[in-house]
Structure 1
Amino acid sequence: MMPEFHTPKKQRRGLLTFLITIGLFFASVNLSVAQKAEITVAAAADLRYAMDSLVSVFKTEQPGVRVTVIYGSSGKFFQQISHNAPFDVFFSADIDFPKQLEKKGLTASPIHTYAVGRLVLWSTKIKPKDLKSLQDRSVRKIAIANPQLAPYGKRAEEVLRHYKLYDQVKNKLVQGENIAQTAQFVSTGAADIGLIALSLALSPPLKSQGAFYLIPSTAHTPLQQAHVVLKRALHNKSAFAFLTFMETNKAKKIMEAFGFSIPK
């Protein structure tokens, strides 16, 4: 008959403490991995519909990654990121904002131009033929994005000055905080016409509502749009994976479908 062995209470308590510690350790490791499978993206408002499509396709290839996208003006995001806002990736409508963040030491990847945006004259009330449409008698309010915050607004002002129309129409201008709000002003009738992003004019909600005139790119500084991984996401592999996905043919075709030019 085998003798019975009894583990002292103190030894059992020590073993239990050890097992609990190991369990907590692995739980924290799993939590860390789960956290890395989340991305918070700050995206320029002209990307609203293109980005929704991009994220949808990305999730089919990376089903374990949760992507949250916040849309707004690039200038406002720049200010927020400069004050440590919790974003992992920044998609700016103007390459200058990521460059400024890089100088501040707030980026974790090279800056990459992912697209070149285009401006259009868009209206639900008239069919714009050229910039002279802004002088149509029916046009009382003209919507542009805030030039201080939104790159599309800054370029819109450049266009008006290029065609020597700014002084003639400045009293009719109404400003949206970002380009999406600017388009909303026109679509809801708060403005008769607006200078908005081609990507929004081609979006499903707006495409059938109005007509647009494509403004020559020579009338303003190029809208070089760039993305970058931010410092807080230095060890977030999913953030880098998303930018790698942006270089695939699938992603580029989506961008082109919304009127963006893809740099070679």
Structure 2
Amino acid sequence: MKKLLVILFATLLSLPASAATLLVAAASDLAYCIDDLAAAFRKEVPGAVVKVSTGASGNFFAQIRNGAPFHVFLSADMMYPTELAKLGAADGATLRPYAVGRIVLWTLDPRLDVGQGLALLRDPRVARVAIGNPDTAPYGRAARAVLERDKLWEAVQPRLVIGENIAQAAQFVQTGNAQLGIVSLATVRAPRMAGVGRYHLIDDKGVAPIEQGAIVTRAGSREALAARFVRFLGSPAARAILERNGFSLPAAAND
């Protein structure tokens, strides 16, 4: 972990120093739309440079807690940014929900009928099922929650292929390393993924919603663009991008 942090620090600190450079740590479910969000933000703030890293929310939580110089953290849940605020590693006054995620059952295997929902996991032809890591990825945690709700967790565990984050879980399905995946709706609804495989929206009754939170970190409190970017996520332009990419939206805030 310390070696990874040293590499991360060296990479980020080698970036050109500029008051208009924003370092954003973004949950991997944003991979297909974060560039669009950054481009829309640059239209509002000409000259701004947005440097984005995507990955598992839990890993970013650990890095920011240990001093990684990200300015903004876009988590796939509210728990990690809330905890950073409690630890003094982020500004709790800036915490806001920016999106609500959903999970889907997704396959590229034409023999499998995802319309059956999670019952399909009982099919003996399904040898491998990909999910994000429940310990670090909120979408992996959500996958485990629905499997436990439907009394499938113990039966499915031997067949699980665990991705570090939800993007890697989706890659396992795309590369054939898993026949099915429980991935984010945003992954399969992204315009660039149109027509790739088939998916079924998983009923989220009885499990916590995947409410996603943005926060300005302690390092970001010294960068004026950080709070502006978090507020931007509630703008009509940002909300349109998120909705187009498969996210539900929290109630609009009055800023």
TM-score by length of 2: 0.87
Corresponding position of 1:13? none
2:154 pairs with 1:167: yes
**Structure 1 position 138, deviation (Å):** 2.6
- Residue 115, structure 1, aligned to residue 86, structure 2: no
Aligned length: 232
> What is the distance in 2 between the residues matched to 1:141 and 1:61?
45
Partners in 1 of 2:102 and 2:243 — Cα distance?
11
- Equivalent positions of 1:91-130 (< 5 A) are 91-108=74-91, 109-125=93-109, 126-129=112-115, 130=117
User: Contact between 1:127 and 1:212, CA under 8 Å: does it hold in 2?
Assistant: no
Q: Spell out, residue by residue over 1:220-247, the C-alpha distance to the aligned partner (whole angstroms, 9 max, x if none).
A: 2111100001111213111122112111
Instruction: Tell which structure's C-alpha radius of gyration is larger.
Output: 1
1:90 aligns with 2:73: yes
Is 1:194 matched with 2:181?
Answer: yes
- Please state whether the residue corresponding to 2:126 is helix, strand or coil: coil
Q: Deviations over 1:49-101 (max 9, x none)?
A: 12121111111222211001100000011111110011000000110111111
1:137 lines up with 2:124 in the alignment: yes
Structure 2: distance between partners of 1:100 and 1:61: 30
Q: Does the 8 Å contact 2:99/2:249 carry over to 1?
A: yes
In the alignment, what sits opposite 1:78?
A: 61
Corresponding residue for residue 23 of structure 2: 40
2-structure distance, mates of 1:226, 1:166: 27
What residue is the counterpart of 1:10 in the other structure?
Answer: none
Query: How many angstroms does 1:127 deviate by?
Result: 3.5
Separation in structure 1 between the aligned mates of residue 139 and residue 76 of structure 2, nearest angstrom = 8
Q: Distance in 2 between matches of 1:253 and 1:132?
A: 34
Q: SS at the partner of 1:49?
A: coil
Matches within 5 A, 1:112-261: 112-125=96-109, 126-129=112-115, 130-261=117-248
Whole-Å Cα distance in 1 between the matches of residues 82 and 204 of structure 2? 23
Please identify runs of 4+ aligned residues in structure 1 that moved more than 6 A: none
The amino acid across from 1:123 in the alignment is T
Identity %: 42
Which structure has the highest helix share of the two? 1
- Unpaired runs of 5+ in structure 2? 1-16
Is the CA contact 1:128–1:213 (under 8 Å) kept in the aligned structure 2? yes
TM-align CA RMSD = 1.5
| Matched-pair contact (CA < 8 Å) for 1:76–1:149 | yes
TM-score for the superposition, normalised by structure 1: 0.84
In structure 2, C-alpha distance between the alignment counterparts of 1:41 and 1:260, rounded to whole Å: 19
- SS class of match (1:234): helix
Partner amino acid, structure 2, of 1:157: R
Q: For 1:217, what is the secondary structure of its paired residue?
A: coil
- C-alpha separation in 1, matches of 2:113 and 2:189: 15
Code of the aligned partner of 1:225 = Q
- Maintained 8 Å contact 1:73/1:178: yes
Q: Secondary structure at the match of 2:31?
A: helix
Question: Residues 187 and 206 of structure 1 are in contact (CA less than 8 Å); yes or no, is this contact kept in structure 2?
Answer: no
> Letter of the aligned partner of 1:138 in structure 2?
R
Q: Distance in 2 between matches of 1:184 and 1:63?
A: 35
Query: Residue 219 of structure 1: CA displacement?
Result: 4.4
The residue aligned with 2:32 is 49
- Residue 217 of structure 1 deviates from its aligned partner by 1.9
